[in-house]
């Protein structure tokens, strides 16, 4: 098993998995993908194991080129002592559905699942290759990846992180989490939305891999979900949640399970699709979008149309209209046709849209279902689920709950809703949803939400109270590349 690029296919621009993890983006601007999917033959045996062992087993088959020891360390050490619950990702009953809680890590959002592990793989890959140069990890964030990457790379020798986030495009707590981060990292706001920020970072990568731009001796790497290493730990929790429902008697061997996923860049839901290719009995993957509903339209019609206004919503980590990871799905659904995939991406860049052929749309529809949701409906679900079941949804998970309510009537399978963030991360919005006017000040909101719900403020937020702001920069989109070069100079010096 090796990696190939979605825009070159087999034979050209291939890479080993460790190389693909270090490079992030392929030299032709495509994304790295596996050339085939390993099937988990002893699924029953695997599902009897605990969550860490399942994750190690899944990672071992998806990460050839890394030793058992390297993988065991990346997963074990990556998660150890950083989660507030021993099972890492508990599955909790909420009325007729199940919530897979992915927010018990250091940044209180699901990005931790991948970003606790990826940095250790980057380090192991560098060591294997005898590469002792400094690595600059470039991150564009819609709110949650930034903090998770800063935490994940903290203490990894030879790696520094530079995070760009959209100015006024993330929640006050997300911003505070990043701006207070200690260590030799940089965090900078960009005057633009997330798509502008993500495009800026991709342009820096492209200029770097074509040799137009250099960073002295410093090498660039990516912690965004364009990095294939991000997918691996995410694939694992689809297996662990299935295992939890076997263990508690909800599922019998072979039963199908549906997943409802709040979606932005398509990384989380794509991981579920890969789990299905690896033999997990997944029914459908329900793509829940907020008002940036480009994916809902795509799944329902086969047309991906970027020509629409970017909307700022109460679920900022899903405010995305260029969903990078969809490119990987297109590649696989077209039968690994890199010409077709590159064609879609060119059409998107040139005309702002593309259409997939009917045979691909049929596969999309058999694996996926899509529902969009505005803020008002999301807030209604936060309030109803709290009042009816005593369970507090964050605004992203509420978008998924909305999709669940529509979808459940159409399915006989048990449903797992992926709970991607702690509701405290969006305390102001959650208070509003509960019918309470949020007080001024981020910490007053946290305290009020805690008082009203009798749920304690998560520990990492309590710590923020006494931390000082260390990163105050705001730049324009055009300044991103020179900012990155300046920071690389500091690392080098
Ligand atoms: C990133 C994020 C999402 C979207 O996940 P994708 O993999 O980008 O589709 C949803 N919810 C939260 C809280 C997130 O941080």
* pLDDT at res. 224: 87
**266 Cβ closer than 6 Å to some ligand 1 atom:** yes
- pLDDT, residue 160, reads 95
Share of the chain above pLDDT 90, in %: 93
Q: Domain count of the chain?
A: 1
Ligand 1, atom 8, residue with closest C-alpha? 265
Question: With a 6 A CB cut-off, is 423 part of the ligand 1 pocket?
Answer: no
* 130 CA to centre of ligand 1 in angstroms: 34
Does residue 405 line the site of ligand 1, with CB under 6 A? no
Query: Which tens digits make up the pLDDT trace of 84-133?
Result: 999 999 999 999 999 999 999 999 999 999 999 999 999 999 999 999 99
Most informative mutation of 316, 317, 417, 423 for ligand 1 (most atoms within 8 A of CB): 317
Q: How far is the CA of 316 from the centre of ligand 1 (A)?
A: 9
Q: Taken in order 203, 213, 27, 19, is the CA torsion positive or negative?
A: negative
328 close to ligand 1 (CB < 6 Angstrom)? no
Check if 55 has its Cβ closer than 6 Å to any atom of ligand 1: no
225 Cβ below 6 A of ligand 1? yes
Which position has the token pair 């907020």? 290
391: domain range?
A: 91-108+230-465
**Among 199, 458, 213, 221, which residue's Cα sits nearest to residue 349?**
199
Q: Please indicate whether residue 290, judged by its CB atom, sits closer than 6 Å to ligand 1.
A: no
- Say yes or no to pLDDT of 493 above 80: no
Residue 230 CB less than 6 A away from ligand 1: no
Q: Which distant-in-sequence residues (6+ apart) come within 8 Å of 250 by Cβ?
A: 98, 414
Q: What would the pLDDT profile of 374-426 be if each residue is shown by its tens digit? A: 999 999 999 999 999 999 999 999 999 999 999 999 999 999 999 999 999 99
288: domain CATH number?
Answer: 3.40.50.1100
414 closest CA partner among 283, 279, 240? 283
In a domain, 355, yes or no: yes
For the CA of 143, the closest atom of ligand 1 is 15
- 421 Cα nearest atom in ligand 1: 13
Q: Which ligand 1 atom sits nearest the alpha carbon of residue 271? A: 7
* Ligand 1 centroid, distance to 420 Cα (angstroms): 7
Give the C-alpha separation, 462 to 467, whole Å: 10
Query: How far away, in angstroms, is 188 Cα from ligand 1 center?
Result: 20
Q: State in Å: Cα 145 to ligand 1 middle.
A: 9
Q: Which two tokens stand for residue 243?
A: 């295992």
Closest-lying ligand 1 atom to the alpha carbon of residue 264: 9
- pLDDT mean over 463-472: 94
More confident residue, 466 or 492: 466
Note whether residue 174 is domain-resident. no
pLDDT given for residue 492 in this prediction: 81
Beta 219-222 vs 368-372: how paired, if at all? unpaired
Q: What is this structure's pTM?
A: 0.96
Q: What is the mean pLDDT of residues 458-470?
A: 93
Give the chain's mean pLDDT.
96
State mean pLDDT over 326-343.
98
CA of 354 to the centre of ligand 1 (A): 24
Distance (Å) of CA 273 to CA 4, 184, 204, 407, 412: 18, 37, 30, 18, 19
Average pLDDT over residues 36-51: 97
- Tell me, in angstroms, the distance from the centre of ligand 1 to residue 371's CA: 16
241 lies in some domain: yes
Q: Respond yes or no: is residue 410 known to be catalytic.
A: no
Query: Which ligand 1 atom is nearest residue 262's CA?
Result: 10
- Asked whether residue 368 is assigned to any structural domain, the reply reads yes
Say if 458 falls within a structural domain: yes
Q: How far is CA 348 from CA 5, 339, 355, in A?
A: 18, 14, 10
149 CB within 6 A, ligand 1:
no
For residue 196, being part of any structural domain is answered with no
Active-site choice (23, 111, 202, 219): 111
Instruction: State the SS3 of the chain.
Output: CCEEECCCECCCCCECHHHHHHHCECCCCCEEEECCCCCCCCHHHHHCCCHHHHHHHHHHHHCCCCCHHHHHHHHHHHHCCCCCCCCCCCEEEECCEEEEECCCCCCCECHHHHHCCHHHHHHHHHHHCCCCCCEEEEEECCCHHHHHHHHHHCCCCCEEEEEEEECCCCCHHHHHHHHCCCCCCEEEEEECCHHHHHHHHHHHHHHHHCCCCCECECEEEECCCCCHHHHHHHHHHHHHHHHHHHHCCCCCCCCCEEEEEECCCCHHHHHHHHHHHCCCCEEEEEEEECCCCHHHHHHHHCEEECCCCCCCCCCHHHCCCCCCCHHHHHHHHCCCCHHHHHHHHHHHHHHCEEECCHHHHHHHHHHEEEEECCHHHHHHHHHHHHHHHCCCCCHHHHHHHHHHHHHHCCCCCCEEEEECECHHHHHHHHHHHCCCCCCCCHHHHHHHHHHHHCCCCCHHHHHHCCCCCCCCCEEEHHHHHHHHHHHHHHHHC
The answer, yes or no, to whether any atom of ligand 1 lies below 6 A from the CB of 258, is no
Q: Are 110 and 418 in contact (CB under 8 A)?
A: yes
Cβ of 318 closer than 6 Å to ligand 1, yes or no, is yes
Whether 95 is covered by a domain: the verdict is yes
Residue-level pLDDT at 56: 98
CA 323–ligand 1 middle distance (angstroms): 11
Q: Is there a domain that residue 5 lies in?
A: no
Distances (CA, A) of 76 to 7, 53, 108, 467: 34, 9, 19, 29
């Amino acid at each position: 098993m090796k990696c190939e690029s979605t825009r070159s296919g087999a034979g050209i621009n291939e890479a080993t998995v460790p190389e693909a993890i270090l490079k992030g983006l392929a030299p032709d601007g495509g994304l790295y993908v596996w050339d085939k999917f390993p099937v988990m033959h002893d699924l029953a045996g695997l599902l009897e194991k605990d969550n860490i062992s399942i994750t190690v087993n899944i990672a071992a088959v998806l990460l050839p080129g890394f030793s058992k020891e390297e993988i065991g360390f990346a997963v074990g050490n990556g998660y150890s002592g950083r989660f507030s619950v021993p099972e890492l990702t508990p599955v909790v009953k909420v009325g007729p559905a199940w919530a897979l809680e992915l927010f018990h890590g250091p940044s209180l959002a699901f990005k931790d699942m991948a970003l606790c592990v990826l940095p250790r793989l980057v380090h192991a890959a560098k060591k294997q290759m005898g590469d002792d140069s400094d690595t600059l990890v470039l991150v564009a964030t819609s709110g949650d990846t930034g903090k998770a990457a800063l935490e994940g790379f903290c203490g990894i020798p030879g790696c520094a992180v530079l995070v760009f986030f959209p100015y006024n495009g993330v929640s006050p707590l997300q911003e505070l989490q990043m701006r207070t981060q200690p260590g030799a990292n940089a965090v900078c706001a960009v005057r633009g939305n997330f798509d502008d920020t993500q495009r800026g970072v991709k342009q820096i990568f492209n200029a770097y891999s074509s040799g137009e731009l250099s960073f002295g001796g410093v090498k660039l790497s990516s912690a965004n979900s364009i990095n294939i290493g991000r997918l691996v730990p995410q694939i694992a929790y689809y297996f662990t949640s299935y295992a939890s429902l076997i263990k508690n008697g909800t599922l019998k061997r072979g039963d199908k399970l549906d997943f409802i996923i709040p979606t932005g860049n398509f990384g989380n839901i794509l991981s579920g699709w890969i789990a299905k290719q690896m033999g997990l009995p997944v029914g459908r993957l329900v793509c829940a979008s907020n008002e940036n509903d480009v994916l809902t339209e795509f799944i329902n019609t086969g047309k991906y149309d970027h020509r629409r206004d970017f909307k700022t919503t109460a679920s900022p980590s899903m405010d995305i209209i260029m969903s990078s990871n969809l490119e990987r799905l297109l590649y696989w659904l077209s039968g690994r046709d890199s010409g077709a995939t590159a064609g879609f991406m060119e059409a998107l860049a040139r005309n702002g849209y593309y259409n997939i052929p009917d045979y691909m749309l049929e596969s999309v529809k058999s694996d996926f279902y899509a529902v969009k949701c505005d803020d008002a409906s999301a807030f209604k679900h936060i309030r109803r689920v709290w009042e009816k079941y005593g369970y507090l949804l964050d605004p992203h998970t509420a978008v998924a709950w909305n999709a669940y309510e529509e979808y459940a009537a159409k399915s006989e399978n048990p449903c797992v809703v992926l709970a991607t963030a702690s509701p405290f991360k969006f305390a102001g919005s959650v208070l509003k949803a509960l019918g309470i006017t949020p007080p001024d000040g981020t910490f007053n909101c946290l305290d009020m939400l805690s008082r009203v719900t009798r749920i304690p403020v998560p520990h990492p937020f309590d710590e923020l109270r006494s931390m000082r702001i260390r990163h105050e920069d705001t730049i324009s989109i055009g300044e991103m590349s020179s900012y990155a070069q300046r920071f690389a100079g500091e690392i080098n010096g």
